Amino acid sequence: MTANDDPDRPALRTQTIEAWLGWAYRHALRYAFRRRPIDDLRQVAAYGLIEAVDGYDPWRGARFEPYASVTIRGELKHHFRDQARDLSLDGFAALHAKLVAQARKPAGATSAGKWPTRP
């Protein structure tokens, strides 16, 4: 029988998450200066805590707190990186649209999109 086969595992998992949730939220507060909604950061921290609880193996000899701290910080950093990527992709899309609009202009057209007139 392994730790994953323990019939008490779901209850212990829930109790562990509830016991450490406030601690995870404090990790989220460290990133509040980045102008993201605190509820989003708390949700990401809670997700990181759940990942830490599910991935923790006490038989490896490591304490839970440092393991969970690294996991939560990693999830928060992934969140910020994903948000930054979304912003940069929006900028790329705007640049792409501008280049497409320029390419669609007739070759002899002016910047206003009109043909030059003869004097």
Short-list 47, 55, 7, CA closest to 25: 47
Domains parsed from the chain with CATH numbers: 7-104 (1.10.1740.10)
46/23 Cα distance (integer angstroms): 10
Q: Is the whole-model pTM more than 0.75?
A: no
* pLDDT tens-digit readout, 7-52: 888 999 999 999 999 999 999 999 888 778 899 999 999 999 999 9
